[in-house]
Chain A
């Protein structure tokens, strides 16, 4: 049936930097399957075939998997290409997610990670034929130690949260070696949710501490809390408000006087690299998120890598194995470390992520400071331009991110999530909503250094325009997004009656 001209809508209109266009419909891959199709062929078997029922016994074998896809290569290419067009990505534009540091992921890093001789290497192969891999790990360690001002490193943790756990386990092992592991770890109310969750796995009790009216650690308050039973304070610096803890030296001193240690969540290291070093301001142990500060691709949720950097006193407790350089200049994995906390992950860590982070660091060298400066410049530029339109709950100097709240729009019934969803229509990914928890209706914006002045200006224009819409046509904002393939999805229904897999009709 031919559509009548009147059925066709007029060409889509521009909304800021965006204009809606056709996107392909696409079912699930299982719905395209038909017996006999395949998308990959194997070279012929060059040894005698074996009957699995005879070789293994029929009680150990299965038939072909029911409902498993049978599709051709072109169908797979189209399927996933169509799916990909339903995503937003850094490659399409600014990703202002606060605390997530969504920066450009250099393509050369993808290229080198795939080189034959790197991607092909087996983690259990002998050190004699792994010198290249080990050197990459060792070189990255040296770079990260230089950037953080710490003394010892492990690259094994698979992500930031596992880095947190590793650091806490090292603190615990160190305190145990001093005679008493203690019971509590202090966590400010502005912290990431992973912090308290990691504390529990390390066998500690979480003691939440309130931030002061400036969103910072109240040092008088802290003094009361730091008893002989406190193992550590886990501190994000800059805080999740994007503000540097001005009394950091005093905080470290309070802890150290009572034999407790300072853990730094390095999620916000993008504000500090090349400008200041945690090792200089009293941090004993910290982790880095290589998929944030060090540009490794987020890939829709991972992989990450969460190296842990520590002061000398914690070195004996690093997870095994540790990459070391021998006196003859060659590299090896040292497993013989009796005080080690053990292993937190099989093998040497997310090597493919680690090597991308090294490629990133080598690209900048000492010039990494310029990236930090640009990230802070962008955040402050956006803050300055949006301050007249949005409530700024903590009027403190911003570093790499700025946290507004929806207080002004709320009077019109428009909340942070509505504004975030409306940003989608303007061609931007939403900022971080509802975090940090100390800001009701938080709007947490982190542009990173990867955004040009033009892209920042477009974002500012979009936010101002949405502020005006929230005033004049609040329903337009409250029902956003309007230009996506699907409208707001029913999350309540999804959780009440979970459908977590496809089933044949």
Chain B
């Protein structure tokens, strides 16, 4: 087997050195009746060429050659060859968690840079070394708010990503956290009138997402003011991180939970991505996840170490701030490299292109009779439209033309049948936007 570096005679030599005659002797601590006699029922072994063949066949069964107008928490953005080449350096790829700092300064330095970039982008003071993804980052942010306020009530906007809310419910259920969902107004923004002072006074946090699931930007400064007036924290989720190239960061929020997939990480059918928690300096000791910090050695050389570990499970066990151990370090590195490449001007230009293309798509679609905008609030690269016929039917027809249609809202929001969230990024060519709009028009013109 090509991954195993031993010859049969070396195995014999090693067994002899140990003083055993056969490999079976090394497994005698396993009760005999539990030792497998027959080989496992598994496909393979496959050579490298056969493995590639298997996965190429699977890839051909997916959506190659389709254009997609799906966003809903995962975005198709530009990626660079240079970033992926660096990511595949074995010194990064095959390195362990940097607990042995002297032998892991590369990873630690990059984490420190990642933390800095995340602070700059979110307008917060401190960011951690990564969480699993945006959904678990949001849940952990809420648990953090509970620890900071000692309150157990949480007010969550219904315009937060439905799957993020589902994850929050799963975690909250057994921790005695009460989750109250708050509706939205005609603007698509959270209904601030529903945030009553008596409820807020019991609330650990108000939780919003911006841009929210409908694509609409929330008014973070005003929400922060409302929450803070009653001693609640504001937790702000971000699923489309590229928006922060032009959108005002949630600096007034107390905790930001972000999905960093938009920063050069492929959609890859749901992961791995990179979750981020960013917050105020004074809250750092209640933060979950690893943190890299700057320090020096005896000779005064600058170096980086994992720090404030007394928050973490390997030290505190059941008293830890979270059970998280493994994080998404490699994809934090991917985001870091990507952001260094795209840089200050590039990120802004990318965000502007998203805005312009989404506006173009919106105006093309709104020209179709019966298609209208649902919400009046400001949007970035996603927007909600209402169609005169079912989105399910439209999407089924679009699929025949190799177009993956927008996210249908009806399943998650029963009040929004015939409505969908359309996403357009800098990677969607104008010609495809026009083809999409033409196809929708044709489908809607067909007799019922």
State A344–B167 Cα separation when bound (angstroms).
5
Would A300 and B97 count as touching, CB distance under 8 A?
yes
Interface string of B225-257 (1 = CB under 8 A from A): 000000000000000000010111100000000
A258 at the interface (CB under 8 A from B): no
Residue of A nearest to B220 (CB): A60
A244 to B433 alpha-carbon distance, docked (Å): 60
Q: Please name all residues of chain B whose beta carbon is closer than 8 Å to the beta carbon of A60 when the two chains form the complex.
A: 217, 247-248, 378
Q: What string of 1s and 0s marks CB contacts (under 8 Å) between B52-79 and chain A?
A: 1011111111111010101011101010
Interface mask (B273-313 → A, CB under 8 Å = 1, otherwise 0):
00000000000100000111111111101011101111011
Tell which of B169, B343, B359 touches A342, judged by Cβ atoms closer than 8 Å.
B169
Asked if A131 is at the interface of the complex by the 8 Å CB criterion, the answer is: yes
Closest Cβ neighbor of A57 among chain B residues: B378
In the complex, which of the residues A353, A364, A450 has the most CB atoms of chain B within 10 Å of its own CB atom? A364
Given known A-B contacts A68-B343, A304-B326, A501-B119, A83 and B297 have beta carbons under 8 A apart:
no
Residue pairs across A and B with CB atoms within 8 Å: the count is 691
Within 8 Å CB of B3, what residues of A?
A: 104, 106, 363-364, 371, 449-450
Q: A93–B329 Cα gap in the complex (Å)?
A: 21
Is A133's beta carbon under 8 Å from chain B? Answer: yes
Contact check: which of A128, A165, A198, A455 meets B399 at CB < 8 Å? A128
A337-348 toward B: CB 8 Å interface, digit per residue (1/0)? 000011111111
With contacts A55-B355, A86-B105, A397-B26 known, is A39 near B342, CB below 8 A? yes
Q: In the docked arrangement, what's the CA distance between A453 and B29, Å? A: 24
The answer to whether A244 touches B341, judged by C-beta atoms less than 8 angstroms apart, is no
Please determine whether B399 and A87 come into contact, CB atoms closer than 8 angstroms: no
Which residues, 460 to 505 on A, are CB-close (under 8 Å) to B? 481, 484-491, 493-495, 498-502
**CB of B120 within 8 Å of the partner chain:** yes
Is A353 touching B170 in the complex (CB atoms < 8 A)? no
Q: Which of A30-89 contact B (CB under 8 A)?
A: 30, 33, 37-43, 45-50, 52, 55-57, 59-62, 64-71, 73, 76-77, 79-81, 83-89
CB-based contact B115/A95 at 8 Å: no
Question: Which one of B38-46, B149-157, B365-373, B438-446 contacts A?
Answer: B38-46
Q: How far is the CA of A275 from the CA of B39 in the complex (A)?
A: 9
In the bound assembly, the distance between CA atoms of A28 and B346 in angstroms comes to 20
Stretch of B130-138, B178-186, B196-204 that contacts chain A = B130-138
Interface string of B103-144 (1 = CB under 8 A from A): 111110111110111011100011101101111100000000
- B59 cross-chain contacts in A, Cβ below 8 A: 115-118, 132
Cross-chain contact A122 with B269 (CB below 8 angstroms) = yes
How long is the Cα–Cα vector from A38 to B351 in the complex, in angstroms?
16
Q: Which residues of B contact A408 (CB under 8 A)?
A: none
For the complex of A and B, 4 pairs with smallest distance between CB atoms:
A365-B44, A299-B330, A203-B174, A117-B59
Q: Known: A95-B96, A365-B42. Contact between A371 and B360, CB under 8 A?
A: no
Q: How far is the CB of A110 from chain B (nearest CB, A)?
A: 6
Q: How far is the CB of B97 from chain A (nearest CB, A)?
A: 4
Q: Is the CB of B313 within 8 A of A194?
A: yes
Which B residues touch A343, using CB under 8 A? 135, 163, 166-167, 170
Tell whether, in the assembled complex, residue B348 and residue A64 are in contact, meaning their CB atoms are under 8 Å apart: yes
Query: A160 near B: Cβ within 8 Å?
Result: yes
Asked if A169 and B174 make an inter-chain contact with CB atoms under 8 angstroms apart, the answer reads: yes
A61, B248: Cβ atoms closer than 8 Å: yes
A482 to chain B, nearest CB (A): 10
Contact (Cβ within 8 A) B170 A169: yes
Write the nearest CB–CB distance from B130 to chain A, whole angstroms: 7
Would you call A501 and B115 a contact (CB within 8 A)? Answer: yes
Q: Which of B5, B74, B357 contacts A123 (CB 8 A)?
A: B74
Are the CB atoms of A486 and B110 closer together than 8 Å?
no
Distance, CA A199 to CA B244, complexed state (A): 37
Q: Point out the residues of chain A lying under 8 angstroms from B352, CB to CB.
A: 45, 49-50, 52
Assess the B295–A490 pair: CB atoms within 8 A: yes
Cα separation A162 to B54 with both chains bound (whole Å): 29
| B266 contacts chain A at the CB level, 8 A cutoff | yes
Contact B14 A453 (CB under 8 A): yes
The minimal Cβ–Cβ distance linking A59 to chain B, given in whole angstroms, is 7
Would you call B328 and A430 a contact (CB within 8 A)? no
Given A69-B344, A350-B272: A122 and B76 within 8 A (CB)?
yes
Q: Verify if A143 is at the interface (C-beta below 8 Å from B).
A: yes
Pairwise interchain contact B430-A300, C-beta atoms closer than 8 A? no
Of chain B, the residue at the smallest CB distance from A452 is B5
Chain A contacts for B217, CB-based, 8 A = 56, 60
Of the residues A117, A362, A455, contact of B46 by C-beta under 8 Å: A362
